Structure 1
Amino acid sequence: MNKLFSVADKQMKRLFTVSEKRGLPPGSMVYTGRQKEVPLRISVIDYDGATISDQQDVTTEACVAFKDSETVSWINVTGLNDTEAIGRIGTQFDIHPLVLEDILHTTQRPKLEELGDYLFLVVRMLYTEAETRELHSEQISFILTARCLISFQETAGDVFDLIRDRLRKNHGRIRKMGPDYLLYALMDAIVDNYFLIMEQTGEQIESIEQNILDNPSAALMNELYAQKRELLYIRKAVWPLREAIGGLERGESKLLKPKTHAYLRDLYDHTIQVIDTVETFRDMLSGVQDLYLSSLGHKTNQVMQVLTIIATIFIPITFVAGIYGMNFDHMPELHWKYSYPVAWLLMICMTAGMLYYFRRKKWF
């Protein structure tokens, strides 16, 4: 859990990092991400209803051939530190310099922009590592044209493998639709992964809640705060995504066919569900925090109750011991041969009587 906290905390800090572009003119192509060692690689899946071509390590010069092809092309660019190559792709597809700047500035807020011949969409892809369950975030940028969908991501590995399998095996309607439906399918994969993260988060919250009921401790509070920071980061990624998908669904761009709008409405509903889940989990965490404080207070009250009962029992015993410990000469009980056992019997009877009284009152 501490790893989760550190990763989410680092991701949050990235949102507020001072940009490396400070002082540069608008449209300056500067990669601001941290994955500077990832080489640029381009893969292209070109398809129609009958054929498909899956190419790896395509050159930037070869990408222009897919611009006006009759088939649908998904051009996926991995690694953004080669700004010159990104610039060449932008020139080939007439992408505005400000859009290229936003692609390279990897802490963008999810957004949608309609720019005449193409749509520009920025989203955040969230995923967790299978072994460590660390939360990671990556900016994915999409350029949608009449025949192409270009995606830009910082590192290799994403949540699109199922979409690639559907394309290769021709499952469903994806090969029969245009690039706008492909954009929907990729967005749907990102949002579906949000649900997976929410499921894992829900299990962790339930585990923290049960552990707090069993044995509240400071370590559990650290886990609680880690979950709160993680949910805050997820919320920052999902809330603006709702606006972007809503803009797609309500938009009148010719690049989005009427058939696709129905799927975009469904995707918008899924985004609302994720947001509702995030808000529910935030309320649950606040309730778990109150539960921890209540459990801690109850535990302290139990300890104080036991100590108070012990102190109360010893008050009359101390009184008896104090009276007969004064050693006055004219105390008749001091010289009686049964004084010692009688004193013990008296103190035992007082203790038993007080315990019986406390039990009747249900004080313990």
Structure 2
Amino acid sequence: MGKPVRFKHKKKHYTLPEPGTTPGFVFIDSSSLKPKINFYSFSASVFNMVQLNSLLDITNKTKNKDLFYWVDIKGLNSAELFNVFSEELKIHKLVLEDITRTYHRPKFEEYDGYNFAISRMLRLGEDASLENEQVSFIQTKNVLYTFQETYEDCLDAVRNRLKEGKGNIRIGGTGYLMYALMDMIVDSYFSILSKWSEDMDEIEDRLLTRPDKSVMYETQLVKRNLIAMRRVVWPERDKMNDILRSDSHLISEQTKMFIKDAYDHCVQLMDMVESMKEIASSNIDMYLSIISNRMNEIMKVLTIISSIFIPLTFIAGIYGMNFAKQDPVTGKVMPANMPELYQAHGYEYTLLVMAFIALVQIIFFWRKGWFK
């Protein structure tokens, strides 16, 4: 049997502006990271990547309408960056507010000339804790902007496909690229659930062989992580449905066919999460039942022992009162006292009677099946 599975739950704390601030206020958290900007330009036969220091010259780099562009931004600690989006690219301030406040649920919104979407990237940390990061998308006709809180390269799989030019990713436009990134995020949920499923199998094996308190604690942590994932998968499914129902010209009908597949994945994830939640709940109930049954077995053993010794204790208590039939000093006969106290072989007879009573009780309990 392997080592007990250890889970940790990290609750992310967000630094928020004061209540009552103006809607659309772009809040820059002082603890956030400085932005790193990777600029990708691509077509069916072209792929280039450069690192940018700022977005001030982005309009000059995206003038070629024969190419598609992906601007990958990691780190949000730059008021200048969001001023460029607001003043130069005419992105609505409510969108920029949602990007900088990284606690939003997945969603999809249409604006004049661009689409805005949010996904939640989940991954397991080194200590098996669940890390939850917001990934935001701004999609225009030729440019896709992505925003991440950290420098973690959670989009590397799609980046490799883009570099190698596999499939439709270079020719499908920014809509298909956004779908590919969202689909990769959704697919990563399957690997997390698979890991949790293996861990729950190990917990269940321990539950059936050597249950202890850690089984209940670890199962509860798995259940809590499943609830956290459910809060992500449910709106992710709704977001995919919103994209399918969208009339935006920025998302082609061909791309929507692929999004249907991502929608099906979200439905499948919901089924898996609900099933695993039920298994986790049943494991906790089973642990409590096992502990209760174990306690009942202990109480049954104690009851059998007590039932055997109660009549023996009663007999010993009666003959331990020492009310003699005759006063050993004066020789006076005491009426209605114990005539057996000085009877020959009384000790042996009493032990035999007590042993007989105990034997009869043991046979009775055995025939009732109490010793099974």
Query: Is TM (by shorter chain) over 0.5?
Result: yes
Which structure 2 residues correspond to residues 171-250 of structure 1 after superposition, within 5 A?
171-250=166-245
User: How many residues get paired?
Assistant: 354
TM (norm. structure 2) is 0.88
* Bigger fraction of residues in helix: 1
Aligned residue in 1 for 2:71: 75
**Cα shift at 1:254:** 0.8
- Partner of 2:44, secondary structure, is coil
- Partner of 2:48, secondary structure, is strand
**Cα shift at 1:134:** 1.3
Q: Which amino acid aligns with 1:353?
A: V
**CA pair 134-35 structure 1, distance change in 2 beyond 3 A:** farther
1:113 to 95, 109, 123: 109
- Partner of 2:181, secondary structure, is helix
**Cα shift at 1:61:** 2.0
Matched, 1:356 2:360: no
- Partner of 1:175, secondary structure, is coil
Aligned residue in 2 for 1:104: 100
**Cα shift at 1:237:** 1.4
TM (norm. structure 1) is 0.89
Q: Which amino acid aligns with 2:25?
A: S
**Cα shift at 1:123:** 1.3
**CA pair 283-244 structure 1, distance change in 2 beyond 3 A:** same
Taking the aligned partners of 2:161 and 2:281, their CA distance within structure 1 comes to 42
Q: Which amino acid aligns with 1:347?
A: M
Which structure 2 residues correspond to residues 242-321 of structure 1 after superposition, within 5 A?
242-321=237-316
Taking the aligned partners of 1:55 and 1:353, their CA distance within structure 2 comes to 92
**Further displaced range: 107-116 or 331-340:** 331-340
Aligned residue in 1 for 2:26: 29
Deviations 1:23-57 (A, max 9, x none): 3222221135x742x21110012111112112234
Deviations 1:104-138 (A, max 9, x none): 11111211111121100011111112x31111011
Deviations 1:275-321 (A, max 9, x none): 12122222222222222222222122111111111100101211232
1:85 to 81, 105, 119: 81
Taking the aligned partners of 1:114 and 1:357, their CA distance within structure 2 comes to 80
**Further displaced range: 337-346 or 316-325:** 337-346
Structure 1: stretches of 5+ with no match in the other structure: none
Aligned residue in 2 for 1:4: 8
Conserved in 2, the CA contact under 8 Å of 1:66 and 1:148?
no
Deviations 1:56-76 (A, max 9, x none): 344322322343432111110
Q: Which amino acid aligns with 1:26?
A: P
Conserved in 1, the CA contact under 8 Å of 2:155 and 2:181?
yes
Q: Which amino acid aligns with 1:135?
A: L
**Further displaced range: 327-336 or 260-269:** 327-336
Conserved in 1, the CA contact under 8 Å of 2:54 and 2:81?
no
Structure 2: stretches of 5+ with no match in the other structure: 326-337
**Cα shift at 1:2:** 7.0
**Cα shift at 1:204:** 3.0
Conserved in 1, the CA contact under 8 Å of 2:133 and 2:149?
yes
Q: Which amino acid aligns with 2:135?
A: I
Q: Could you list the structure 1 runs, at least 4 aligned residues long, displaced by more than 6 angstroms after superposition.
A: none
Percent identity, aligned pairs only?
37
Conserved in 2, the CA contact under 8 Å of 1:324 and 1:334?
yes
**Cα shift at 1:215:** 4.1
Q: Which amino acid aligns with 1:251?
A: S
Conserved in 2, the CA contact under 8 Å of 1:144 and 1:179?
yes
Aligned residue in 1 for 2:42: 47
Q: Which amino acid aligns with 2:23?
A: P
